[in-house]
Amino acid sequence: MLDRLRGRLESSLGSVGSAFAKVEGSPTAWTAVGLALSVLAAVAYATARYEGELLGGVLILVGGWFDIVDGAVARVTNRTSKRGAFLDSTLDRVAEVALFTGILLGAYAPPATVLLALSLSLLVSYTRAKGDALGVKLAGVGIGERSERLLIVAVSSLVGLLGWGLLLVIAVAAFTFVERTYTAVRGLGGEGERPEAPGPEPK
């Protein structure tokens, strides 16, 4: 939902990309800034209770802004590339793992809850990546994409209800995983129509 909204606002983000490109023209640099903010949020969660929860929520929101900035800079500088897309997606997963690790260390919820929230979040991202690789576009399918999940974590942190926020992340991520799996299976056809996989899964 938020990604679709961002797509509609792309034309108005040109000025944002131009402004940040004057400071640093490399989209990867801004991606790294977003990752650094996510790591700082993880540290905040891990080292303090309510103060860490509040600071973590703020840092997630600021880091989310730089998720928009890197794409805007890439477009205005004409530096969109497969390498950049790979780095952006991979570092997003690193950021999520860092955040949930910080939440786990801060004991804001039972370990099983944090692990399930992280696992389902990664499964949502994996289904999209695998679907795209097999020719089934899953962007925008489901209500629990990364932007929505991080917004839930951030807002619930700001109001001191991170434990409940994680339960909501589990719910929307599980729904999105099931919806994407169903959509992909339908799009790929029956057993006899399934396209040849591009290669073995990496170990």
pLDDT in tens, 31-88: 899 999 999 999 999 998 788 899 999 999 999 888 888 878 887 888 777 887 888 8
Please report the DSSP string for 75-114 in residue order: HHTT---HHHHHHHHHHHHHHHHHHHHHHHHHTSS-HHHH
Sorted by sequence, the CB contacts under 8 Å of residue 74 that are 6+ apart come out as 17, 27, 80, 84
- Quote the DSSP letter at residue 10: G
- CATH-assigned architecture of domain 2-187: Up-down Bundle (1.20)
Tokens of 80: 């969109």
- pLDDT at position 199 is 56
pLDDT of residue 19: 77
Catalytic-residue membership of 92 = yes
Query: Residue 203: what pLDDT?
Result: 45
What contacts 180, CB < 8 A, 6 or more positions away?
124, 127, 128, 131, 138, 141, 142
Helical H segments across the chain, by residue range: 2-8, 14-23, 27-47, 50-76, 82-106, 111-133, 146-158, 162-188
Share of the chain above pLDDT 70, in %: 86
pTM, 2 dp: 0.83
Q: What is the pLDDT of residues 131-170, one digit of tens each?
A: 989 999 988 888 888 889 999 999 999 999 999 999 999 9
Q: Identify the active-site residue in 67, 88, 92, 132.
A: 92
The per-residue pLDDT for range 93-117, each reduced to its tens digit, is 999 999 999 999 999 999 999 999 9
Tokens 């991170």, residue located: 162
